[in-house]
């Protein structure tokens, strides 16, 4: 069967990445149906589709142990087909969708500093969420001696926090502003990662990871409360760019954490580094806020950021 060699596994990963690009289409479609003051909640609910990772971590290892991982992929076709059929019949573009612009005009967003601010922030929040989702199974097995299935259950618990609190983050961002919420979340994330670096008992570390993933999930909602306010006409393209940055972060996080474990012989180093990443993200957010308050917030945009 296909997927027996490392090269074939890489190809499968690429194909899964293409499927993940649906994120860049789903969020703009949802965004255009709602007014500015509801963008955080709407984008949070739409983005909560990453809760699918919950089912993957909870059921994937069990099915793979009984039927093999190839059959895990086969069974995944069932919900995928159902969603595809539903989408065909009920999905439609919003009446407010702006007319398409020449392709070269879309690429002008790369010249705007705010684009890179959002990319950095989302690479920390979403990249951290995805990266830890991939990495924590190894961490629980190696550090605490759990079985793979048992580790999957602990990872699922952490994924629940990140997935289901994304809409909560968007909702709160609508009320108090995405910047204020992100500041609180980055501070909380820094404290949680620093606490985890002490590698306390399994219970204590799981609680801190749950809270840390909760902060990351809420951060995802807060970032995408801000993005539509700044790039309302280029929301589709900018969503793809920012989402890609989050994907890159999700790739880098487990690789960096794993490399640091090999170099230092302890998982503590990786969590300390990610704690520092939270501080850097907070500083970048503060720098970005100065720019935003001088431009688009003090201009025509009256929505809280």
Tens digit of each residue's pLDDT, the chain (305 residues): 566 777 877 787 777 767 666 766 777 777 777 777 777 777 777 766 666 766 776 777 778 777 877 788 788 888 889 988 998 888 887 776 767 677 677 778 888 889 999 999 999 999 999 899 889 999 999 999 998 888 888 988 888 888 888 888 888 988 888 899 999 999 999 999 999 999 999 999 999 999 999 999 999 989 988 888 888 777 777 887 888 888 888 889 999 999 999 999 999 999 999 999 999 999 999 998 887 766 655 444 445 56
Count other C-beta atoms under 10 Å from residue 106's C-beta: 17
Query: Tokens at residue 288, please?
Result: 């970005």
In this prediction, residue 110 carries a pLDDT of 86
Angle, helices 235-264 vs 268-294, to 10°: value is: 150
Query: Tokens at residue 39, please?
Result: 């963008």
Count other C-beta atoms under 10 Å from residue 92's C-beta: 9
In this prediction, residue 301 carries a pLDDT of 47
The DSSP letter of residue 300 is T
In this prediction, residue 122 carries a pLDDT of 93
pTM of the predicted model over 0.85: no
pLDDT digits (tens, 9 = 90+) for 151-161: 888 988 888 88
Helix (H) or strand (E) holding 4: none
Query: Tokens at residue 5, please?
Result: 């060699």
In this prediction, residue 297 carries a pLDDT of 54
Kindly list the structural domains of the chain, giving each domain's residue range(s) and its CATH number in brackets, ordered by start: 16-90+114-294 (1.20.1250.20)
In this prediction, residue 280 carries a pLDDT of 96
**For residues 303 and 214, is the Cβ–Cβ distance under 8 A?**
no
d(CA 220, CA 225): 9
pLDDT digits (tens, 9 = 90+) for 152-190: 889 888 888 888 888 888 889 888 888 999 999 999 999
Residues 6+ apart with CB under 8 A from 189: 128, 212, 215, 216, 219, 275, 278
Show the DSSP H helices in the chain as ranges.
Answer: 6-20, 22-31, 39-47, 52-67, 69-90, 103-106, 113-144, 148-164, 166-176, 178-196, 202-230, 235-264, 268-294
Interior CA angle at 244 toward 55 and 231, to 5°? 115
């Amino acid at each position: 069967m296909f997927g027996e060699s490392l090269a074939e596994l890489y190809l499968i990963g690429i194909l899964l990445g293409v499927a993940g690009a649906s994120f860049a289409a789903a969020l703009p479609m949802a965004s255009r149906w709602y007014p500015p003051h509801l963008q955080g909640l709407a984008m949070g609910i739409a983005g909560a589709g990453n809760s699918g990772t919950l089912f993957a971590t909870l059921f994937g290892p069990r099915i793979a142990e009984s039927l093999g991982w190839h059959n895990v992929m086969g069974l995944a076709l069932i919900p995928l087909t159902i969603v595809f059929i539903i989408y065909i019949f009920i999905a439609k573009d919003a009446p407010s969708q702006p007319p398409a612009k020449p392709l070269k005009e879309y690429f002008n967003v790369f010249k705007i500093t705010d684009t890179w601010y959002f990319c950095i922030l989302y690479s920390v929040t979403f990249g951290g969420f995805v990266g830890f989702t991939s990495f924590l199974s190894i961490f629980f097995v190696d550090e605490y001696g759990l079985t793979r299935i048992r580790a999957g259950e602990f990872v699922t618990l952490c994924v629940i926090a990140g997935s289901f609190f994304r809409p909560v983050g968007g909702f709160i961002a609508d009320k108090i502003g995405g910047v204020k919420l992100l500041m609180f979340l980055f501070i909380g994330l820094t404290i949680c990662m620093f606490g985890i670096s002490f590698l306390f008992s399994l219970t204590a570390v799981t609680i801190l990871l749950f809270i840390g993933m909760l902060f990351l999930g809420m951060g995802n909602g807060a970032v995408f409360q801000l993005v539509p306010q700044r790039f309302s006409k280029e929301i589709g393209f900018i969503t793809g760019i920012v989402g890609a940055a989050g994907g890159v972060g999700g790739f880098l996080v487990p690789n960096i954490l794993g490399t640091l474990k090999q170099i230092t012989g302890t998982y503590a180093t990786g969590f300390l580094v990610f704690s520092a990443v939270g501080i850097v993200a907070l500083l970048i957010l503060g720098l970005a806020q100065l720019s935003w308050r001088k431009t688009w917030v003090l201009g025509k945009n009256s929505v809280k950021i």
